[in-house]
Amino acid sequence: MRIRYRQVDEEITPLGTLSLHRYEAESGERGYEVRIDDQFLMATHGSLGESAMARLACERLERPRRDLSVLVGGLGAGHTLQAALALEAVASVEVVEIDHKVVEWNRRYFAEQGGRALADHRVRVTVADLADVLATRSQAYDLMLLDVDNGPGWLAAPNNAGLYQVAGLEQALGALRVGGALAVWSPAPNPTFREALHQVFAAVEEVSTREILDEGAGPTDVVYLAVRQAVL
């Protein structure tokens, strides 16, 4: 199936050239795709794994499910944010996105497909590096939903690697409340990342989109889940 692309906007960033492309398929499907240095980064389609993170993490909470404070690390096309806001118990969501252009594109181009999630009164946007933010947030969140770059092991920006290593995961642990849950999106199973998670969190799971769909074939996106358990 042929797909036509048209570049809409771009910006030179410290991580590379960030560009926005509108696409239209022969089937009539339309949407947007974001690239960095012409490498795929995110799109308004294909959101199953990203959208599932909020529900999967909430199901694993070991603390009361009320007035939840949520961190969304990496705004992307807004799929994760939209899913977090759909949880009944969520009181506030902080979105941390490193590039202001991604925020601007969400508001200007993705709003209709994303349910205008950024306009929700519970949402606060912080334009900053996620690692810098985590270092200043001690036990601030009940849920942390991370989808930065292309996930662990498939980075478009190598500087993001630290988020998925033991030191970065220790920062994430420190920003979670006891009983809080972490979800991390990955485009495929990553044993190295899973081992890093095990070094920091006692309870770790790997859930594939095949399990979410309850099918034996299909996408292989993975959501890694971990819980900050009480120290006995």
For residue range 117-137, list pLDDT tens digits in order: 999 999 999 999 999 999 999
Pick the CATH number of 48-227 from 3.40.50.150, 3.30.420.10, 3.40.640.10, 3.20.20.210: 3.40.50.150
* Residue 21 to residue 39: CA distance in whole angstroms: 12
What DSSP line would sit under 39-81, residue for residue? EEEEESS--HHHHHHHHHHHHT--S--SSEEEEEE--TTSHHH
Q: What is the pLDDT of residue 214?
A: 58
The owner of tokens 């705004």 is 75
3-state class of 169 per DSSP? Answer: helix
Tell me the pTM: 0.92
Q: What is the pLDDT of residue 216?
A: 52
> Which token pair is 197?
């998670």
Q: Is the pLDDT of residue 87 over 90?
A: yes
What DSSP line would sit under 76-105, residue for residue? TTSHHHHHHHTSTTEEEEEEEES-HHHHHH
> Which token pair is 28?
């009539």
* Residue 141 to residue 152: CA distance in whole angstroms: 22
* Residue 6 to residue 22: CA distance in whole angstroms: 5
For residue range 15-58, list pLDDT tens digits in order: 789 999 999 988 888 899 999 888 888 888 767 788 889 999 99
Give yes or no for a contact between 40 and 33, defined as CB atoms under 8 angstroms apart: yes
- Helix (H) or strand (E) holding 170, with range, is helix 166-175
Percentage of the chain modeled with pLDDT above 70: 95
- Residue 26 CB-density burial (10 A; 0-12 exposed, 13-18 middle, 19+ buried): exposed
Q: Is the pLDDT of residue 1 over 70?
A: no
For residue range 156-174, list pLDDT tens digits in order: 777 888 999 999 999 999 9
Q: Is the pLDDT of residue 102 over 90?
A: yes
Torsional sign, CA 125, 128, 133, 136: negative
